[in-house]
């Protein structure tokens, strides 16, 4: 059965851009969950088109200022928005303030008549890096669900996806999903849209056995290669998305890369 959408536009930050899921065949060198969803939707609907305006590192106000009106100008009938995660993980941020901005964006998108798809954040309790903000993330998620109910939006509830609470689905930076994680997220999104699809389950393999010494060595490598650059960018008020442009700025047909 063919789904009802003909034009999908995705907006947001690194999660929707597809960081952590490198693919030389994909625009911008990254594939990601939104591309995977668009590939499945495109396979089921002739003339289907897809744009992805998401850019890594963007805060919610930047997404609103830089992507919202562009997205509406493209006249989508399906819009995904994942925004606020970069705000919530920042020290001192307020989840209620972040989601108040999000609600303003959803109200604007809702007025277009398009179907809106929102995402909650994953349960961060498993992560030593983000365990301390689990309560703030839970408040953000409850606000997302409340906004979705108010505006009749579809929610992809990542908090409930247990696979994503497993480090085997995350990239080396411990901040973004790896290809397996993006595949799991794409499955969850298509299920939330109630679209039959051919994305299969993924096998992360066995849990690697590490000695204490190996684990500490990996922690040091991670701190040097990922944590310190992040801290330095915060001090300098820089973003990983500075000078990065949208990888799919206009709606076009989409095909899966050579290897799925």
The three-state DSSP-derived secondary structure of 56-80 is CCCCHHHHHHHHHHHHHHCCCCEEE
Find the range with the poorest average confidence among 130-144, 153-167, 230-244.
230-244
Q: Specify the CATH architecture of the domain 7-204.
A: 3-Layer(aba) Sandwich (3.40)
Inter-residue contact 124 to 134 (CB < 8 Å): yes
Would you give the DSSP letter of residue 233? H
Residue 2: burial class (beta carbons within 10 Å; 0-12, 13-18, 19+): exposed
| pLDDT for residue 169 is more than 80 | yes
Could you tell me the two tokens for 55?
Answer: 């850019």
Closest by CA position to 177, among listed 27, 68, 36: 36
* Beta bridge mates, 12: 82
10-49 pLDDT, tens digit per residue, is 999 999 999 999 999 999 999 999 999 999 999 999 899 9
This prediction's pTM: 0.89
pLDDT tens-digit profile of 49-79? 999 999 999 999 999 999 999 999 999 999 9
């Amino acid at each position: 059965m063919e789904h009802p959408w003909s034009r999908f536009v995705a907006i947001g930050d690194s999660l929707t851009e597809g960081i952590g899921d490198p693919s030389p065949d994909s625009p911008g060198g990254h594939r990601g969950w939104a591309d995977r969803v668009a590939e499945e939707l495109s396979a089921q609907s002739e003339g289907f088109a897809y744009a992805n305006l998401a850019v890594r590192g963007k805060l919610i106000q930047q997404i609103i200022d830089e992507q919202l009106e562009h997205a509406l100008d493209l006249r989508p009938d399906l819009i995904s928005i994942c925004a606020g995660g970069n705000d919530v993980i920042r020290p001192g941020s307020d989840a209620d303030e972040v989601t108040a901005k999000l609600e303003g964006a959803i109200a604007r998108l809702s007025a277009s008549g398009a179907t809106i798809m929102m995402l909650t954040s994953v349960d961060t309790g498993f992560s030593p890096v983000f365990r301390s903000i689990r309560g703030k993330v839970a408040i953000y998620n409850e606000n997302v669900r409340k906004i979705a109910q108010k505006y009749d939006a579809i929610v992809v509830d990542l908090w409930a996806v247990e696979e994503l609470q497993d480090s085997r689905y995350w990239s080396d930076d411990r901040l973004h999903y790896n290809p397996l994680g993006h595949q799991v997220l794409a499955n969850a999104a298509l299920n939330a849209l109630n679209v039959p699809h051919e994305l299969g389950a993924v096998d992360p393999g066995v849990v690697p056995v590490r000695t204490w010494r190996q684990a500490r060595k990996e922690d040091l490598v991670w701190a040097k290669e990922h944590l310190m650059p992040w801290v330095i960018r915060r001090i300098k008020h820089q973003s990983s998305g500075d000078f990065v442009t949208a990888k799919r700025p206009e709606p076009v047909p989409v095909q899966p890369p050579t290897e799925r």
